[in-house]
């Protein structure tokens, strides 16, 4: 290493431009360190192997206070990701992540006992790529010595309430892969660190356990829960996070931090704080060292009372702190020296040290105690009476849907990149790349992003990043489809199909439709495309004409062409559409059933029904509302009423000044108000669809729909722009009312995977004092909510994350949209109002009525179909052959056989030049399928499963693919419930891969592509 090896981050990082009026530029400039000095410091005695072996010494007979120097860097919140990284717009919030990292590295080098923990890879990786080789070497050494520790290591610290497990796994994989590629096992995080997310899901803990983490730290939990835990010494527990996976597979040691993630009161030594620094010169009139040491000793002892070991943790840092790390570290150095000096001077039993979350955890593990077990989750979160953070379950519903839709598209992009091989990246359409969408989706999982709790301009920026990510994926899809179909077409991606806009299909006489199916099983899918006023002939891949229909789009004069497409597993079918010549337009005109409440007219001829071979639904002739639904296969009839209501958002009252806002849900009254008591209806019946169009008001309508073969009722709602001219913020719900006797119980999914039982006005681990009968019973619904009387089950599947509840027996409600006039004072500083008149939001609820014993088969398989819906790609047709030796084909499957229904292909993506990442998941819980065998273990032969490539070698990894499963070992914890069994390591046989209920297995496969792939 030459003289120019002076780390640029160390000597040139701070001080340029970002310094505000609150400090002089020189205050930010880290001390210049001479090269020899740097390496002297790096050769500190603690330089041993990575992991727990680099942890500091503790004193066994004392209370050890683990000081954890950290910064919490939101990947967008009040500022965008780039504004935070570079430190622009400091008038909004003073924060510049690049300077934080520069400054921290410099301070770590200045004193070898100092340690620091960093978390968000979206920021760290960006900073890393801007450093010189010399700085990178210095940082690698700090990591090796455990002085710079990574916790969590995801691209972001994801939200837990509005996220889907697939996207969580993807974002963790991205961040952990960066660490593995950059630092190897030295940089591999040992603990999960979710210090800020607003409540904690059980599935998140399960996923963390499966990723190999030894422990989990967080800050936010219900205030009542926290009080009880402190009293019962249950701030630390073993979380048994799966009802299906055998312990300890989903067991995760969980620690609640004492003070959210902030430093103790009066001990914040950042430029963003105003606390007094330690003045240890007794001659100074400002001398305060003795007072602060006494204060600290009392504080540490008091805090230690709530924890079970001789160790306690203090988080010394907060949001975007350490921009001038020297301020923090200089005072912490003094604090440690002064407090520990008391051991000699006064026989103090407090020992304070620089530590990290992993090193604290290591000491807890060594204490070898028996821990109590938790089986439920940490939702909903309230930080005080009347202060339930249940609004963000629904906030920004359009962004939440865009996230789910983009998850679908990213999986399609990943799969086609895997199926087509390197030809997907460089082809006739240019450079295709899945990475930008993968990164944008990872950013969107941040706990202020998909949660809907950022400022408006930041929310816009998240959407911009995702939209920009779609482009390179579209190029990739074009390259892959041309290669796999053998035909070079002018592929068109219609991104606005949700509002029936697609110029190609609306103006062309002929076009072709490629439908790609990302599922491991064949799918039949109703394709719906906007077209002109004509009659069309639709031909399937074999050239046979298939039934099609043209129907009017609700509340417009536009038309949609409908036809049912059949698409093989992990493959595509190409259909052709031709305008029929010489025929006059014969668009189906909906039978107008427009009517006002007419109690005096009760003719049976007015009864509205829609029906297919599985489902029958009847509507009230007076009100136009859904009134009955029948499952014809099971002969289950359920009277059910569905309508839209709104809660009047609280602006504070005598009980509490808390208002409803982006985070908080607080209705003024418990009873919601109807948007309308009746709906104007229209009936559309053709061979391919039956629809009842319901118009409730100028800003609320719905289409209730049945396609042939469909086993659920589809409710496509359109809500907005929500009017707020009357001065009231509104929170709109879809409400389902039945007479089912549900005994206060309902069920919601956890991040789209396992199901949790919810009971009204109840928490499983403490006696709840309920202060908000509505908001305090809301839970995250990521994919489904259901109620049952033990015999019949009513399930509603959602197309995005929403808040939901069952506030009366037999009822289900889902909050679909909200628009609010006040800020709820959790920092975002803006009301959730959205620009101009506000947003229209369109979404779908799928209603399944079933016997309880067969219900899981219905909702599991339908949810999978919704999450990974087919991707429709258009082209004018008449393209040129792509490879002359390959005959163009109109149908393709990347698999030799279909996956069994209980196996979900969770991930198929490129990992390297000749490597693929493959995740297979058992998508049923233990005992869930009570009739068939879908809840049984299932065994697959992977050796010849895929036709697109041949698997040469297969290695199994942990869930985030950052370590081989055979090498992974987690810390063992003793619990007061059945002894933890170590899972027996099984020999990996690619011809016989067994999945237990709810198990996900992750593989890295070396592959060879065929000649057309």
Which position has the token pair 């009746």?
678
Using CB positions, name the residue nearest to Zn ion: 196
The DSSP secondary structure of 404-471, one letter per residue, reads HHHHHHHHHHHHHHHHHGGGGTEETTEE--SHHHHHHHHHHTBTTTTTS-S-HHHHHHHHHHHHHHHH
Q: Cβ closer to Zn ion: 708 or 827?
A: 827
CB atoms within 10 A of CB 586: 10
Q: Cβ closer to Zn ion: 219 or 486?
A: 219
Query: What's the closest the beta carbon of residue 979 comes to Zn ion, in angstroms?
Result: 38
Which position has the token pair 């509205």?
608
Q: Sketch the per residue contact string, 140 through 179, with Zn ion: x for CB under 5 A, - otherwise.
A: ----------------------------------------
The verdict on whether 196 is a catalytic residue reads yes
- 288 vs 266: CA distance, rounded Å: 12
Hey, which residues between 180 and 199 contact Zn ion (CB under 5 A)? 196
Residue 120, interface with Zn ion (CB under 5 A)? no
Kindly give, in sequence order, each residue whose CB lies less than 8 Å from that of residue 1001, ignoring residues fewer than 6 positions away: 919, 920, 921, 956, 993, 995
Query: What's the closest the beta carbon of residue 80 comes to Zn ion, in angstroms?
Result: 15
| 133 preceded by a cis bond (ω within 30 of 0) | no
Instruction: From residue 467, give the alpha-carbon distance in Å to each of 399, 479, 605.
Output: 12, 19, 49
3-state class (DSSP) for residue 869: coil
3-state class (DSSP) for residue 847: strand
Helix 325-346 to helix 97-110 angle (10° resolution) is 40
Q: Cβ closer to Zn ion: 71 or 145?
A: 71
Kindly give, in sequence order, each residue whose CB lies less than 8 Å from that of residue 245, ignoring residues fewer than 6 positions away: 206, 210, 996, 998, 999
Query: What's the closest the beta carbon of residue 447 comes to Zn ion, in angstroms?
Result: 6
User: Candidates 74-82, 222-230, 260-268, 504-512 — which segment interacts with Zn ion by CB under 5 A?
Assistant: 74-82
User: Candidates 66-74, 270-278, 383-391, 614-622 — which segment interacts with Zn ion by CB under 5 A?
Assistant: 66-74
Q: Among candidates 47, 63, 74, 239, which has minimal Cα distance to 148?
A: 47
3-state class (DSSP) for residue 715: strand
Element (H, E) at 1002: strand 1000-1009
Q: Cβ closer to Zn ion: 448 or 560?
A: 448
Length of the chain: 1013
Out of 74, 159, 186, 196, the active site residue is: 196
Query: CA angle, corner 652, sides to 381 and 731, nearest 5?
Result: 65
Phi, psi of 150 (to 5 degrees): -100, 130
Number of residues that bind Zn ion (CB under 5 A): 2
- 239 vs 972: CA distance, rounded Å: 13
Which position has the token pair 């006064």?
346
- 746 vs 309: CA distance, rounded Å: 38
Q: Cβ closer to Zn ion: 446 or 730?
A: 446
Instruction: From residue 649, give the alpha-carbon distance in Å to each of 196, 718, 801, 835.
Output: 25, 20, 20, 19
- 68 vs 267: CA distance, rounded Å: 13
Query: What's the closest the beta carbon of residue 744 comes to Zn ion, in angstroms?
Result: 34
The residue within the footprint of Zn ion, chosen from 74, 149, 180, 1012 (CB under 5 A), is 74
For 738-760, give one letter per residue: b (16+ CB within 10 A) or e: bebebeebbbbbbbbbbbbebeb
- 153 vs 854: CA distance, rounded Å: 40
DSSP state of 364: H
**Catalytic residue positions?**
196
What is the contact surface with Zn ion in residues (CB under 5 A)?
74, 196
């Amino acid at each position: 290493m030459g003289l120019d090896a002076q780390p640029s981050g160390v000597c040139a990082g701070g001080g340029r431009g970002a310094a505000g009026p609150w400090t002089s530029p020189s205050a930010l400039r880290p001390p210049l360190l001479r090269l020899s000095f740097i390496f002297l410091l790096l050769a500190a005695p603690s330089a041993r192997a990575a992991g727990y072996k680099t942890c500091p010494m503790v004193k066994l007979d004392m209370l050890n206070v683990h000081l954890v120097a950290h910064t919490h860097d939101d990947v967008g919140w009040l500022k965008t990701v780039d504004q935070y990284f570079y430190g622009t717009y400091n008038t909004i919030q003073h924060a510049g992540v690049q300077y934080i990292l520069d400054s921290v590295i410099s301070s770590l080098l200045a004193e070898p006992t100092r340690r620091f923990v960093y978390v968000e890879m979206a920021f760290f990786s960006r900073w890393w790529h801007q450093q010189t080789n010399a700085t990178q070497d210095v940082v690698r050494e700090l990591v090796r010595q455990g002085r710079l520790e990574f916790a969590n290591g995801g691209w972001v610290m994801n939200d837990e309430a509005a996220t889907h497990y697939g996207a969580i796994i993807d974002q963790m994989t991205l961040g952990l892969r960066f660490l593995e590629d950059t630092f190897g096992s030295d940089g591999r995080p040992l603990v999960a660190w979710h210090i800020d997310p607003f409540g904690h899901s059980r599935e998140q803990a399960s996923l963390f356990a499966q990723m190999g983490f030894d422990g989990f730290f967080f800050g936010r939990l219900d205030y009542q829960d926290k009080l009880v835990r402190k009293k019962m010494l249950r701030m630390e527990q073993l979380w048994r996070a799966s009802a299906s996976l055998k312990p300890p597979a989903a067991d995760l040691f969980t620690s609640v931090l004492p003070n959210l993630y902030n430093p103790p009161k009066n001990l914040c030594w950042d430029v963003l704080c105003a606390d007094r620094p330690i003045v240890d010169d007794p001659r100074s009139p400002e001398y305060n060292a003795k007072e602060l040491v006494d204060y600290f000793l009392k504080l540490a002892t008091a805090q230690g009372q709530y924890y079970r070991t001789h160790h306690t943790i203090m988080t010394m840092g907060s949001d975007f702190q350490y921009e001038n790390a020297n301020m923090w570290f200089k005072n912490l150095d003094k604090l440690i020296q002064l407090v520990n000096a008391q051991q000699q001077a006064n026989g103090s039993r407090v020992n304070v040290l620089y530590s990290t979350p992993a090193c604290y955890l290591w000491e807890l593990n060594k204490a070898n105690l028996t821990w109590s077990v938790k089986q439920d989750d940490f939702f909903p979160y309230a930080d005080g009476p009347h202060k339930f953070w249940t609004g963000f379950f629904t906030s920004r519903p359009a962004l939440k849907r865009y996230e789910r839709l983009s998850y679908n598209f990213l999986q399609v992009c990943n799969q086609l990149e895997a199926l087509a091989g390197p030809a997907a990246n460089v082809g006739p359409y240019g450079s295709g790349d899945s990475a930008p969408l993968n990164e944008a989706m990872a950013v969107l999982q941040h706990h202020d992003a998909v949660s809907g709790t950022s400022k408006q301009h930041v929310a816009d920026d998240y959407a911009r990043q995702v939209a920009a990510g779609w482009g390179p994926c579209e190029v990739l899809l074009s390259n892959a489809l041309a290669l796999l179909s053998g035909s070079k077409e002018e592929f068109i991606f219609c991104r606005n199909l949700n509002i029936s806009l697609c110029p190609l299909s609306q103006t062309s006489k002929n076009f072709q439709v490629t439908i790609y199916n990302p599922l491991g099983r064949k799918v039949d899918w109703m394709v719906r495309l906007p077209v002109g006023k004509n009659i069309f002939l639709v031909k399937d891949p074999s050239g046979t004409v298939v039934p099609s229909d043209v129907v009017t789009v609700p509340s417009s004069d536009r038309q949609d062409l409908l036809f049912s497409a059949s698409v093989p597993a992990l493959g595509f079918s190409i259909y052709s559409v031709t305008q029929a010549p010489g025929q006059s337009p014969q668009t189906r005109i909906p039978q107008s059933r427009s009517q006002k409440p007419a109690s005096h007219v009760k003719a049976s001829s007015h009864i509205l029904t829609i029906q297919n071979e599985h489902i029958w639904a009847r509507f009230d002739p007076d009100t136009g509302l859904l009134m009955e639904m029948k499952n014809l296969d099971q002969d289950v009839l359920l009277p059910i009423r569905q309508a839209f209501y709104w809660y009047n958002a609280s602006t504070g009252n005598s009980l509490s000044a808390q208002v409803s806002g982006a985070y908080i849900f607080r209705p003024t009254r418990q009873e919601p108000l109807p948007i309308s008591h009746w709906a104007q209806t229209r009936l559309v019946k053709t061979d391919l669809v039956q629809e009842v169009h319901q118009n409730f008001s100028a800003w609320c309508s719905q289409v209730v729909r049945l396609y042939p073969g469909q086993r659920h009722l589809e409710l496509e709602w359109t809500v907005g722009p929500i009017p707020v001219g009357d001065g009231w913020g509104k929170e709109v719900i879809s409400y389902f009312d039945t007479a089912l006797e549900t005994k206060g119980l309902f069920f919601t999914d956890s991040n789209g995977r396992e199901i949790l039982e919810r009971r009204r006005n109840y928490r499983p681990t403490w006696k709840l004092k309920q202060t908000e009968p509505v908001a305090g019973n809301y839970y995250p619904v990521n994919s489904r909510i259901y109620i049952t009387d033990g015999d019949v089950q009513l399930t509603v599947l959602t197309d995005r994350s929403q808040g939901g509840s069952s506030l009366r027996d037999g009822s289900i409600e889902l909050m679909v949209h909200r628009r609010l006039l006040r800020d709820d004072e959790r920092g975002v500083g803006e009301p959730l109002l959205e620009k101009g008149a506000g947003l229209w939001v369109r979404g779908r609820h799928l209603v399944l009525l079933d016997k309880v014993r067969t219900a899981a088969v219905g909702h599991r398989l339908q949810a999978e179909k919704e999450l990974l819906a087919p991707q429709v790609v258009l082209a004018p047709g008449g393209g040129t052959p792509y490879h002359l030796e390959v005959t163009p084909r109109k149908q393709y499957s990347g698999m030799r056989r279909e996956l069994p229904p209980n196996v979900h292909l969770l991930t198929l993506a490129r990992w390297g030049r000749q490597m693929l990442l493959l995740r297979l998941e058992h998508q049923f819980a233990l005992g869930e399928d009570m009739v068939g065998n879908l809840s049984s273990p299932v065994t697959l032969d992977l050796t010849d499963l895929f036709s697109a490539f041949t698997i040469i070698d297969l290695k199994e990894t942990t869930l985030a693919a950052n370590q081989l499963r055979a090498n992974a070992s987690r810390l063992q914890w003793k619990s007061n419930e059945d002894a933890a069994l170590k899972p027996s390591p099984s020999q990996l046989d690619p011809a016989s891969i067994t999945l237990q209920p709810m198990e996900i297995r992750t593989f890295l496969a070396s592959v060879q592509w065929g000649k057309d792939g």
